[in-house]
Amino acid sequence: MQNPSLDRLTPNLLTQSAPEAQPGFAPALQSDSGSDSGSGTGTGSWLRRHRGGAAIGAVAAVGLAVVISTQLASKGDSLPLSVHNAGPAGARAVSEILGRHGVEVQDVESFDSATAALADRPGATLLLYDRSGFLDQSRLEQLTAGAGRVVLVTPRLGTLKALDTGISQAGVVPESTALLAPGCDLSDPAAAGAVSGTGGFLYDGGTVCFSPPGSTAGLLARTDDGGLTVLGSTALLNNGGLADPGHAALALRTLGSSGDLVWYLPGLGDAAAAESTQTLDDLAPDWVAFLGPWLVFVAVLAVVWRGRRLGPLVFEPLPVVVKAVETAEGRARLYQDSHALDRARDNLRAGTLVRLAHALRVGSEATADDVVQAAARHLGRPATDISGLIQESPSTAARLVQWSQELDKLENEVRTR
C-alpha cells in the first residue's frame, strides 16, 4: 500500500525534470541572445546543466517511494498455529490439507465467535491453542461443553486445572529422545507411527501415547471418554514440522474425525473481556489467612519477652582518652598477632627516615638516600653502614625487635651529636 503523500510527490519531481514548453516562452527559447530574462529559458538552461543530478534525484525519489510502500505493506499473519500464517510456525498447510479431505475449517478470532461457530455446528471439533492462558475457567467450560471433541495444543497448567479432566503436566521430552513410538492402543497414534518429540511437553493422565523410555507420561494424552485430546508439541501441526514422519497423519486423524473444525487461538481481547484478574488473596492457599495473624501474635510476644529482659535502650556518652603509646602498642600487637612483619618493618623504616630528616633538616622533599648521606656526614660514619641498617628486612619477630632498637639508637645518636 503506497503512501498518498509520496504519490503526489513523485509526479511533481518528474514534472520538474521534464517541463512542458509554454506558448508564452516560445520566442525566448528560440532566441540566441542567451538572455535569462524569461523563466522558461532559466529553467531549461538549469536543467541542461544539472540534468544528471535531476535524473538521479528522480530515481532516488521513486526508489524511496517503493521502499516505504513495501515497508508499510501488510506483513501477513505471523501468529503461531494460525491458519493464515504460511511461515514455519503457522498452520496453513494442515488447514488446506484438511479442507481437501472434506473438513470445513472455521477460523474464529474471539470467544463470542467461537461459541457461535460451535452452536451452528453441533458435534464439531474444537482446536484450542491458548498459549498465554487468556481464558478463565468459566469460558473454558463453556467452550468444551459446546464442542463434540476438544483438542488442546500445549495447554498451560491453569487450563488443565480449570477443565479438571485428570490430565496434568509432566515435564518435557528429554533432548536425547529423537523419535517417540506410539506405545498405546489408540488407533490414530498407531496409524501415524513414530513422531518427533524434540522440544515437546509431556502430559500424564487418561490414555497416554508417545512416551519416552522409562516414563509414564507422553506427548499425547486423551481422556478415557475420548472427548479431549492433548498434544504436547506445536510441531505436530505447524508448517515447519508437518513434513516430519508421522506428523501429517497424526494431525489429520486427530483433527479430521468430524466434518467441522473450529480453529480458535484466544487473544488479548478475550482476556480483557474476562470478569477480573485474581488478586494475591485469591491465589494464596486458605491456611495463609490463619498463619499471618498467628505470626504477628508470636512476634509481639517475642518483643515483650526480650524487651523485659534487656530493658530500655539508653544513650550514654563515654568520653575516653587514649594515650599515643597505647595506640602504638595496640597496633604493634595487631601486627604481631597477624604476623605482619613486612607491614611493621615498613612502618618502622618510614618513621625513622621521617624523624632523621627532621633532625638533620634536609627538607621534606629529601629521598631516603639523601637522609642516609646526611646522617653519615653528621655522624662521621660510612654511608653503607647506615644504609644497610635502614634497608634491612628482618624475617623474624625477634630480629624485628632488635632491629627497631638499633634504629632507635641511631636516632638518639643523631639528636645528641
Mean pLDDT of the chain: 81
Whether residue 192 sits in one domain with residue 138: yes
Higher-confidence residue of 200 and 73: namely 200
364-407 pLDDT per residue, tens: 788 999 999 999 999 999 999 999 999 998 888 888 889 889 99
Closest by CA position to 230, among listed 258, 202, 263: 202
Whether residue 101 sits in one domain with residue 49: no
* C-beta separation of 241 from 164 below 8 A: no
380 in any annotated domain: yes
Whether residue 106 sits in one domain with residue 48: no
Higher-confidence residue of 52 and 80: namely 80
Whether residue 268 sits in one domain with residue 344: no
292 in any annotated domain: no
Q: Is the model's pLDDT at 29 over the cut of 60?
A: no
Confidence band, pLDDT 50/70/90 cuts, at residue 311: low
297 in any annotated domain: no
Please report the DSSP string for 344-373 in residue order: HHHHHHHHHHHHHHHHHT--TT--HHHHHH
Closest by CA position to 348, among listed 413, 415, 412, 400: 400
* C-beta separation of 236 from 210 below 8 A: no
Whether residue 246 sits in one domain with residue 346: no
385 in any annotated domain: yes
Higher-confidence residue of 337 and 240: namely 240
CA 63 vs CA 267, 284, 399: distances in Å? 38, 60, 88
Whether residue 118 sits in one domain with residue 246: yes
312 in any annotated domain: no
Confidence band, pLDDT 50/70/90 cuts, at residue 326: confident
Q: Which of 72, 107, 130 is the last residue in one of the domains?
A: 72
Q: Which pTM does this prediction carry? A: 0.51
Q: Is the model's pLDDT at 12 over the cut of 50?
A: no
Higher-confidence residue of 405 and 24: namely 405
If one counts the domains in the chain, the total is 3
* C-beta separation of 96 from 84 below 8 A: no
pLDDT of residue 292: 80
What's CA 278's distance to the chain center, in Å?
26
- How far is the C-alpha of 125 from the C-alpha of 186, rounded, in Å? 18
Range of the domain at 359: 324-416
317 in any annotated domain: no
- How far is the C-alpha of 184 from the C-alpha of 169, rounded, in Å? 19
Whether residue 260 sits in one domain with residue 403: no
Whether residue 65 sits in one domain with residue 174: no
187 in any annotated domain: yes
253-281 pLDDT per residue, tens: 999 988 899 999 998 888 754 455 667 77
pLDDT of residue 275: 52
What is residue 49's three-state secondary structure? helix
Whether residue 267 sits in one domain with residue 159: yes
What is residue 236's three-state secondary structure? helix
Q: Which of 242, 272, 302 is the last residue in one of the domains?
A: 272
Over range 299-321, report the average pLDDT. 74
Q: Which of 72, 104, 123 is the last residue in one of the domains?
A: 72
pLDDT of residue 175: 87
Whether residue 167 sits in one domain with residue 57: no
CATH classification of the domain holding 191: 3.40.50
Whether residue 265 sits in one domain with residue 123: yes
Confidence band, pLDDT 50/70/90 cuts, at residue 188: very high
Q: Is the model's pLDDT at 302 over the cut of 70?
A: yes
Q: Is the model's pLDDT at 50 over the cut of 50?
A: yes
pLDDT of residue 33: 41
46 in any annotated domain: yes
Over range 291-305, report the average pLDDT. 85
Residue % of the chain over a pLDDT of 70: 80
pLDDT of residue 347: 87
Whether residue 109 sits in one domain with residue 33: no
